[in-house]
Amino acid sequence: MKPDVLVLGAGMVGTCTALHLALRGHAVTLVDRREPGRETSYGNAGIIQREAVVPYAFPRQLSKLLGVAMKRGADVNYHLGALPGLAAPLSRYWRNSAPRRHAQLSQAYAALIEHSLHTHDELIGLAGAQDLVRREGYRWIFRTGDAMAAAVTDAQRLAERHGLRHVVMDRDTLRRAEPGVTERAAGALHWLDPWTVNDPGALVARYAQALQAHGGRLLIGDAATLAATGSGWQVQTADGPVQAAQAVVALGPWSDTLLRTLGYRYPLFIKRGYHRHHAAPIAPRLSLYDVEAGLVMGPMQRGVRVTTGAEFARLDAAPTPVQMHKAEALANELLPLGTPVESTPWMGARPCTADMLPVIGPAPRHRGLWFNLGHAHQGFTLGPASGRLLADLMTGAAPLLDAAPYAPARFG
């Protein structure tokens, strides 16, 4: 009989991990404090980013760093009091963003991204979630010709190297495709390979329903109670204690808190982000990424969702939606947003590692414990791929790809 498994965290990554294990015959219990897909996986831009073969690097241009320090834009904000605690991982992030090192890390990052579409496709079909997904790509939108020209040059290089498809759109072509866009837009770059989802949380919920259909359990519980037992692992849930031979930590931005109780000091940190929906007079046909402002405007079931860039703050700090207000003002310049649907913006957190790669594999010092975390901006994109890879490792199957670059042991 195959060993039973606890999976802690019902976001995209944890839910996909649980589903892949259940498909291989394991008795799986998925545990979270909330229903599946209600935290970070709910609040993202809803794009399965096949083109995102290069991880976000720490900016190195002096002008950009000065803009961040002065909080001039909508793409980055920070809490001054949080910076001392972020100094160590951010300094490693800076070093890993040096061109040669970043190029090396990008190879491993791209190798995982390349599996994003077909692994999602398998689960979308299994979950009957085709109604949530649009397979027509999304658009990078530009305010200036110079920014567009630089992005097109980079896109051509990436397209040739990674087999990506894209179309360059001038101002008139963009306006015909997106009638709601104003004259402020200089043009767009249409990435054709990515898919968009009109309710990200609902897609995770559908995957969780597929898990149940294949024998998995969903329980409300407290991951902080995870403890080793003589035969494996135990966690407290609303239905009482649950034990299993193996456990997976897939808690996204809350992973570091639990890992520290187990003695692991990994260079993890979070980036918070905000969104709000709007009843726009003319919604965009496809999601629009305003490259120069660092925000996304995406058509969702609740309206046009505007998502912000990164906020460096403590996980439990009170919301400071200054980025949201800046982003809405900037978005209105390119696409009139209309009335906000919610009075208060949503806030969530992205789980990041200092080397920009997720942590996927066995815990170095605990038998039967596994990690699947640290996906930064791409947990929604990579959940099915990293879930399948971890299931391969746990079951001894031929892995989807070389897992060495993501191994927890790389941190020592």
Residues 317-345: pLDDT tens digits? Answer: 999 999 999 999 999 999 999 999 999 99
Fold of the domain built from segment(s) 1-57+97-133+193-267+354-412: FAD/NAD(P)-binding domain (3.50.50)
Mean pLDDT of 348-373: 98
**Amino acid identity, position 83:** L
For 158-215, write each residue's pLDDT tens digit.
Answer: 999 999 999 999 999 999 999 999 999 999 999 999 999 999 999 999 999 999 999 9
Q: What does each C-alpha distance from 214 to 126, 132, 211, 274, 389 come to in angstroms? A: 10, 21, 5, 34, 19
Q: Is the pLDDT of residue 2 over 80?
A: no
Identify the residue whose tokens are 């979308």.
124
Q: In whole angstroms, what is the distance from residue 306 CA to residue 311 CA?
A: 15
pLDDT digits (tens, 9 = 90+) for 100-157: 999 999 999 999 999 999 999 999 999 999 999 999 999 999 999 999 999 999 999 9
What single string gives the DSSP state of each residue in 371-382? EEE--GGGHHHH
> Strand, helix or coil at 20?
helix
**197: three-class secondary structure by DSSP:** strand
- What is the value of pTM for the model shown? 0.97
Where do the domains of the chain lie? 1-57+97-133+193-267+354-412, 83-95+270-351, 149-192
In this structure, the chain runs to a length of 412
- φ/ψ region of 384 (left if φ > 0, alpha if ψ in -120 to 50, else beta) reads alpha
At residue 63, the 3 state secondary structure works out as helix
A 10 A CB-CB count for 227 gives 14
Distances (CA, A) of 215 to 4, 18, 21: 12, 11, 11
Mean pLDDT, range 9-19, rounded to an integer = 98
